Amino acid sequence: MLSIFTLLLFGVAAVASIRRRSGWQIPLGLLLSAAGDAAGAMGWFVPQMGLFAAALGCYLCEMVPHIGRKRVRPAWPLAILLPLVAGLALLADHIEPIGEAVGVVLYALLLLSLVVAALLQQRPYRGWLLCAALLFLLSDALIGYTHYVAPLHSSKGWILLFYCTAQLLFALWSIAAPDKVPTKATSR
């Protein structure tokens, strides 16, 4: 059911991308997320994590070219980095297969990169990207905790809320943001 929601977002974002002749990264990220949703519904955690990592890579590819050189107060990256490092340390004690532990650490670094890239965006509606990245981080942090450490009461509802809102924000941003690649006039 969740993959249907993400597929619908993919369809809307893809149509908007084709109409505007803009980037393909956000729609592709939504498509990979839908595949990750399907893998998760089948209980395939590692393939699910791989598909979501590919989706995060697509979102990063959209954001990296628009990272600005503005100064960011050190408190922002630290406020994001410290809880993530503490959370990873907590998870590391509970992850048994070393390969899975490496995958989780790499995935967490990808998530952190996404949040930092969203924080440093220099274009309209960048707040939507930052909120989407932070919600994705919260959703995945809850998944990691409930998967490796202990189940939490009502965690599935919060995971779904954070995840669906993040994907919706990515899709809405790709529809509402002004053209991302301005055309330069060439002189002859």
Query: What are the tens digits of pLDDT across the range 110-127?
Result: 988 898 888 888 888 888
What is the mean predicted confidence (pLDDT) over 43-66?
A: 90
What is the mean predicted confidence (pLDDT) over 73-91?
A: 70
Q: Which two tokens stand for residue 52?
A: 């979501």
86: exposed, middle or buried (C-beta count within 10 Å: 0-12, 13-18, 19+)? exposed
* Residue with the larger pLDDT of the pair 47 and 86: 47
* 126-152 pLDDT per residue, tens: 889 999 999 999 998 888 888 888 888
Query: CA 62 → CA 56, 59, 67, 180, 183, distances in Å?
Result: 10, 5, 10, 9, 17
Tell me what pLDDT residue 52 has: 92
* 34-48 pLDDT per residue, tens: 999 999 889 888 888
Q: CA 25, CA 63: separation in Å to the nearest integer?
A: 9
Q: How would residue 179 be classed by pLDDT, with cut points 50, 70 and 90?
A: low
What is the mean predicted confidence (pLDDT) over 54-73?
A: 83
Q: CA 40, CA 88: separation in Å to the nearest integer?
A: 21
Whether the predicted pLDDT of 76 surpasses 70:
no
**Torsion angles phi and psi, residue 67, rounded to 5:** -75, 130
Tally of CA atoms within 13 A in the half-sphere of 137 that contains its CB: 24
Q: Which two tokens stand for residue 89?
A: 């340390």
Specify the DSSP element, H or E, that contains 77.
Answer: helix 75-92
pTM equals: 0.81
